[in-house]
Structure 1
C-alpha cells in the first residue's frame, strides 16, 4: 500500500517540477530584478561552527580522480564505508557510511542528505552513490559528531549535507566524456538555463565498463569475473520565486545500477526514484517546508566460492519511504536564532529470496521478510550571540515504531517451514545537544560541544539474513536502538592570510551498537554489544595562495568494543573494518584561468575483517592525479589517474580469500562548459 502511494506521489511531484515555470505575471516581471533565488535551504545559524564542520567546495567536488562522490568524501579523514571498495566494485548493500570510527557493520551511522532529503536506502541503510553525480553538486558539508539536534534520526556519527548547484556554478551547459585504459566510459551532461527569476537544472550521467579484477591472480578460476558495472542516473530540478521572499524547489531523481562481483552470474542491481517539493521563506518569519517520497529496489545473486554455482537469489527488495520536515525561525531579536521544527519518515520494506542447492541446482525454499518503521521527531534549538561568544542548545524528542515484522519460509511446493511474526515495538527517546564557539582573537576560535543521538536498527538488520559465502550472518528481530553520547573540544585558527587550521579532540560512545558477532564457525548474528567507544583527534588544514592550494585532513582514533557476558571475548577489540589512522592531502596548482593540476595522497590504516580480529586488511597509501587544460574557449582536456602507484588495496580477506580495490587506472576525455 505504501509503495503504491509512493508511485502516485512520485508522478505528482515529477509533474510539479514544471509548475514553477508557467508564464510569469506582470507584477512578477516588475519585481524580478529584486528577487534572488538560491535553490538552498535556510542559511546557517551562528552556532554552526560550534561543531566539527568541514566543507568541500565545488572545485574539489568536480575534480576527483574517479569522478565519484564517495571518492570526493574520502578526502575527509574519518569518512569510511563498510569496505574500501567504491560503487563500481562493491556490493551496494555494503556501502553504508560512518564517521568517527563507529563502524562495525554495513549500515550507515551517518545521516546523508541531498538538498535536505535523506538518500540512504530505507531497507538496508546503504547510500546509492551511483545516483549522485558530482557535477550536480555545489558543495558538501560534513559534520562529524554533533548528535541529532535539527537533523533527522540516524546521525549518530555525523551528518553529510550535499547541496545541488545552480546555473551560477554549472553554467547553462556542461558536459564531459571520458574513457580509461580498460575502455570503460563515463559521460554526463547538464543543462541549467535561467527561466525568468528562477532556473531549471536537468542532468544525466552514464557509467559503464568491464571492470577490473577484484580477485587476486593466484585465486582466479574459470568462473572468476571482472567487476563489471553499468549505471545511469537522471535528475530534474526547478527553482522559482513565489514572492519576493519565498521560493519553491521541486526535484526528481531516477537511477539504475547493475554490477558483477567476483564470479560470473554474481550480479546485483539497485534502482530507485525519488521526488521532493520544498518551500523556503526568508522573510521575517523564516521557514523551510520539505516533503519527499522514495521508491527503491535491490537484487543480488550469491555464487558459491567452491562450486561456482548460484546458491541464493535475492530476487527483489522493494522499499518505500515518505517523509518531510518543517522548520520555523520566528523573529526573536538580534543576536538570537530560534529554530522550531518537526520531521517525519515512514518506511516499508519487503524481501523475496530463493536459496538453491549447490549440488543439484534445485530451488530449496522461498523466503519472505520485511516490516514497517516510522520516526516522528520534534525539536527546539536556540542560538545566542553575546559579543565574541555564541552559545547553542537544543532538545529533540522522537516517537519511533517498528511494526509488522515477519519472516516466512516455505518449500517450493508451498509447505510452511517457518512463519514468524515479530512483536510490534514503539517508544519515545529524548536527545540533547549544546555547545559554544568563542572568537578568542582575530585569528583563533575555540569551541566545545556535547550531544546525544539515536539510530533505529534497519529492516535489513532486523529481518534479513545474508551470506558472503561461506559466512552466514543471521538477522535479529530483537535488536535495540543504538544510543550515542559524545563530547568534543576544538580550535580553529587563521594564523596567516589564506591559511586555515583546525583541530578537534573527541570522545564518543555508542551504546548498544549493532555488530556482526561471530557465534560459530562461518556463522554470525547481528547483536547489540554493550558499546563502541571511540576517542581521537581530527585535524584539517587549508591553504589558498591563489595559484597554489592545499587541503589536508587527518583522523586518529582509538576505537574499541565494550562487551560483557557471552560477548566478553570481544571486549577491548577494535570494531570490524575500522582503521586507527586515516589521512588525505590534495595539492593543486592553477597556473592560469581554467587550468587545474592536482595530486591527492591518501592513507588508510590497517583494519580487521571481522569482530574476532582474525583477518586483517593491510594499510594502503594511494596517489591520485587530476589535470584540466583548456584547449579552446569552451573546451578543456581532462586527464585523471587513480592509484597511480598501483598500490594493492585489500578490501576483503576471509581466511585468505581476498577481494582487491581499484588498480592503477588512467582516464582521458573532454569537458565542455558554456558560462
Structure 2
C-alpha cells in the first residue's frame, strides 16, 4: 500500500523536524519529492519509496523474500549491480551497509519518521560521495506526545506489529519504538517449474529504536540516536538462508540561531554482521548441495560531519563543511563441500576512507531567481586489502595482499531556479558526482543459483556527469513536476560474464554446468537519459496521484566486456508508472494504488528477459472508537505474477503474490 506524496513541506510544528538546519535555498533547483508519513506510521519504508518516480531496487522482490545483498537502490537507470547509487540518509547519517552498499530495509520499520525527501540527480555537494542518482533523506519525528501501536495478521500466517512512545520532556523529547514481522512465506519458484527442493520462504525481522533530544542552550540541542535490528530470511530451498543484524548509534549537535551563525556537528558508528549460505540445485530440482557458507561478514562504518552557515544577508546563503567516512570489513567463508564438510576456506576484506571538504553558495538577487554553485573535493584511500584461501587442515592455496590505493575525486553542481510566478518554476542544472567501490565489490564473491560472480580488487571509482531541466507547477491543491535528464556514468561497475560452467573459476571455485561465471568490472560507461513526471491533486477528502519515469539506458563497453556494448544494463526497466486514489474522512479511509514496471533483463547480455508487471494494492480503515481503528489492506490484489529473477536454467522466481492483512491501530 502506497503513501501520498506531500505537495509542500510539512508545516505542523508538532511534526516537522525542527532539530535540523533549515532546508537550503538550493533545494529550489532540485526535482524534489516529499513523502508524508505522518498519517501512516505502520507502512514499510520500501513501500513508501515507491511514490518516487523511477526509484528502484536491484530486484523487484521486497525485504521479506529478496536476498539482502540485492537490495541497493538507484534512480535514473544507473544500475549495473546491486550496490546503491542513491545515498540514503537518516538524520544526516549514511545508511548503506558499510561492507556491501545494500540497504537493510527491515531495520527502518521501527523508526518514527516525520518525512521522507527524495532529491534526484548527482552533484549534491553537501551530501558527499555516493549520490550518483540522488539522495533519500529520512527525518526523525520529535517534539510530539505520541503513544501508538499497530498489529496486523496476514496471509501465510504473517504478523506485522509496531509500537512506539514519544514524550516531550521540557524543551526536549525522548522516544522508544519497536517493530516485529514474521511470516511462513510463499514458494518463490513459479508453478510448473518447482521440484522437490522447493518450499515456502519464511522470514522473521525485528527492530528497536531509541532517540533522545536535549537542549544545550537556547539555540542548540543535542540529539542521540541508537537503533538495532535483526533480519532472518530464506530463499525457499535448503542452504539459502541469510542472517543480518546491526547496531547504529549517532550524536548530533545542531545550532539554529536565526540571526547568526548556524552549524551542525555529527558523529556516528555502524556495526553489522551478515551470514549467507548458497546451494546448487541439481537438474530437475530434486536435490540441493551446499556450495558456499559465508558464515560471517562483519563490518563497521565510522563517520563525522560538520557544517556551518555564516549570516550573509537575505540574498546570499553559504554552506561550508567537511565530512569523513571509514568502512572496514571482511568475508569469512567455507566452500568446496563434500556433503556438509567444507574442503576450503577463504577470508577477504579491507578498509576504505574518504575525507572531503565542501562549499555551496546560493544567490537570490530577487524573489524570482536563485543561482547555486558548489563543489565537494574528496581524498579517498583503499587500504589493507587481502584475500587468503586455504585447504582446511592443510596447505595455503593463496595468500594475497593488495597494494594500497588513493586518489582525489570531486562532486560539483551548478543550478538555476526561475520563478515565473507564484505557481510556476523553471529549473536546470549541470552536475558531476562519484562513488567509491564497496568492500563487497572489491573483495567478496557471491552466487545466485548456479551463477557465480567474483570480486575485483582493482575496481576504480564510478564517475557521473549529467544535465537536467524541469518545470514545476504548484498551487494549494495541485502539483505538477516534470524533469528531463541525461547522464553518463563512467567506469560503471557491472557483473560481466566471462565463462560458462562446469569448471573451476578464479575467485569463486566450482561453477556447475550451465552456470555463468562473472566478474565485477568497470565498464566504459552507462549512458542514461529520460523523463520523470509527477502529478498530485487534493480536493477535500480526496487525493489523486500519478507518476511516470521513462529511462533509456545503454552500456558502452570494450575489451573483455565488448559483448555488452549497446545493450541495456541488467535489471533496468524502461518504464515505471503508478497511480493512486485516496479518500480520507474522519471515520473512514480508503486508498487504491496501481503500479506498473516495464520488462527488464536479468543478465548483462540481455538473454533472459523478465516480463512487465501490473499490480494493484488497496487499503481500508474505519475508526471504531476515538483512539481505535480497524484496518484491512491487500497487496497485489489480483495475484499477478511479478517476475523477480530468472536463472541460467530458465527457472523463474516471483515477487510477493496476493497478500491480505487485517489489523487494528491505536494512537493516543
Relative to the length of structure 2, the TM-score reads 0.93
Alignment of 1:562-641 (within 5 A): 562-590=556-584, 592-593=585-586, 595-641=588-634
**Distance between the aligned counterparts of 2:250 and 2:339, measured in 1?**
48
Cα deviation code 1:227-274 (max 9, x no counterpart): 210010000001121111111111000001100102034210110001
- The residue aligned with 1:647 is 640
Secondary structure (helix, strand or coil) at the match of 1:451 reads strand
- The residue aligned with 1:71 is 47
Alignment of 1:145-294 (within 5 A): 145-168=121-144, 171-283=145-257, 284-294=260-270
Alignment of 1:421-436 (within 5 A): 421-436=401-416
Alpha-carbon offset, residue 595 of structure 1: 3.1
Asked if 1 retains the 8 angstrom alpha-carbon contact of 2:110 and 2:209, the reply is no
- The residue aligned with 1:124 is 100
Secondary structure (helix, strand or coil) at the match of 1:105 reads coil
Alpha-carbon offset, residue 627 of structure 1: 1.2
Asked if 2 retains the 8 angstrom alpha-carbon contact of 1:303 and 1:309, the reply is yes
Asked if 2 retains the 8 angstrom alpha-carbon contact of 1:35 and 1:244, the reply is no
Q: Say which of 362, 380, 389 aligns to 2:369.
A: 389
**Distance between the aligned counterparts of 2:202 and 2:243, measured in 1?**
12
**Distance between the aligned counterparts of 2:545 and 2:346, measured in 1?**
49
Q: Does 1:95 align with 2:71?
A: yes
- The residue aligned with 2:549 is 555
Asked if 1 retains the 8 angstrom alpha-carbon contact of 2:289 and 2:339, the reply is no
Q: Does 1:520 align with 2:512?
A: no
Asked if 2 retains the 8 angstrom alpha-carbon contact of 1:181 and 1:667, the reply is yes
**Distance between the aligned counterparts of 2:54 and 2:19, measured in 1?**
27
Relative to the length of structure 1, the TM-score reads 0.92
**Distance between the aligned counterparts of 2:84 and 2:303, measured in 1?**
18
More strand by share: 2
Q: Structure 1 37/280 Cα, relative in aligned 2: closer, same or farther at 3 Å?
A: farther
- The residue aligned with 1:454 is 434
**Distance between the aligned counterparts of 2:489 and 2:613, measured in 1?**
27
- The residue aligned with 1:362 is 341
Q: Does 1:52 align with 2:31?
A: yes
Q: Say which of 463, 475, 481 aligns to 1:502.
A: 481
**Distance between the aligned counterparts of 1:412 and 1:60, measured in 2?**
55
**Distance between the aligned counterparts of 1:68 and 1:214, measured in 2?**
21
Secondary structure (helix, strand or coil) at the match of 2:126 reads coil
Q: Structure 1 205/302 Cα, relative in aligned 2: closer, same or farther at 3 Å?
A: same
**Distance between the aligned counterparts of 2:195 and 2:631, measured in 1?**
37
Gaps of 5+ in 1: 1-33
Q: Does 1:337 align with 2:330?
A: no
Question: Which deviates more, 462-471 or 510-519?
Answer: 462-471
Q: Say which of 411, 420, 423 aligns to 1:443.
A: 423
**Distance between the aligned counterparts of 1:53 and 1:262, measured in 2?**
39
**Distance between the aligned counterparts of 2:413 and 2:16, measured in 1?**
32
Q: Say which of 320, 330, 353 aligns to 1:374.
A: 353
Asked if 1 retains the 8 angstrom alpha-carbon contact of 2:221 and 2:254, the reply is yes
Cα deviation code 1:287-330 (max 9, x no counterpart): 01111011001100111111412211100000001101100001
Secondary structure (helix, strand or coil) at the match of 1:47 reads helix
Number of residue equivalences? 633
Q: Structure 1 430/332 Cα, relative in aligned 2: closer, same or farther at 3 Å?
A: same
Asked if 1 retains the 8 angstrom alpha-carbon contact of 2:111 and 2:209, the reply is no
Secondary structure (helix, strand or coil) at the match of 1:373 reads strand
Asked if 1 retains the 8 angstrom alpha-carbon contact of 2:432 and 2:466, the reply is yes
Asked if 2 retains the 8 angstrom alpha-carbon contact of 1:382 and 1:392, the reply is yes
**Distance between the aligned counterparts of 1:329 and 1:285, measured in 2?**
6
**Distance between the aligned counterparts of 1:36 and 1:267, measured in 2?**
39
Q: Say which of 528, 531, 537 aligns to 1:537.
A: 531
Q: Say which of 341, 347, 365 aligns to 2:327.
A: 347
Asked if 2 retains the 8 angstrom alpha-carbon contact of 1:96 and 1:125, the reply is yes
Asked if 2 retains the 8 angstrom alpha-carbon contact of 1:60 and 1:72, the reply is no
Asked if 1 retains the 8 angstrom alpha-carbon contact of 2:33 and 2:118, the reply is yes
Alpha-carbon offset, residue 630 of structure 1: 0.6
Asked if 2 retains the 8 angstrom alpha-carbon contact of 1:625 and 1:640, the reply is yes
Secondary structure (helix, strand or coil) at the match of 1:49 reads helix
Asked if 1 retains the 8 angstrom alpha-carbon contact of 2:497 and 2:519, the reply is yes
- Root-mean-square deviation (Å): 1.6
Secondary structure (helix, strand or coil) at the match of 1:309 reads strand
**Distance between the aligned counterparts of 1:375 and 1:610, measured in 2?**
32
**Distance between the aligned counterparts of 2:606 and 2:462, measured in 1?**
23
Q: Structure 1 659/372 Cα, relative in aligned 2: closer, same or farther at 3 Å?
A: same
Alpha-carbon offset, residue 220 of structure 1: 2.1
Alpha-carbon offset, residue 49 of structure 1: 1.9
Q: Structure 1 236/421 Cα, relative in aligned 2: closer, same or farther at 3 Å?
A: same
Alpha-carbon offset, residue 478 of structure 1: 0.6
Asked if 2 retains the 8 angstrom alpha-carbon contact of 1:148 and 1:454, the reply is no
Asked if 1 retains the 8 angstrom alpha-carbon contact of 2:264 and 2:308, the reply is yes
**Distance between the aligned counterparts of 1:76 and 1:584, measured in 2?**
10
Cα deviation code 1:36-83 (max 9, x no counterpart): 9945421111220201111111257547xxx32111111212111110
Q: Say which of 456, 461, 474 aligns to 1:476.
A: 456
Alpha-carbon offset, residue 566 of structure 1: 2.9
Gaps of 5+ in 2: 1-12, 501-515
Cα deviation code 1:471-510 (max 9, x no counterpart): 110111111100010100000013x640110100000110
**Distance between the aligned counterparts of 1:61 and 1:433, measured in 2?**
35
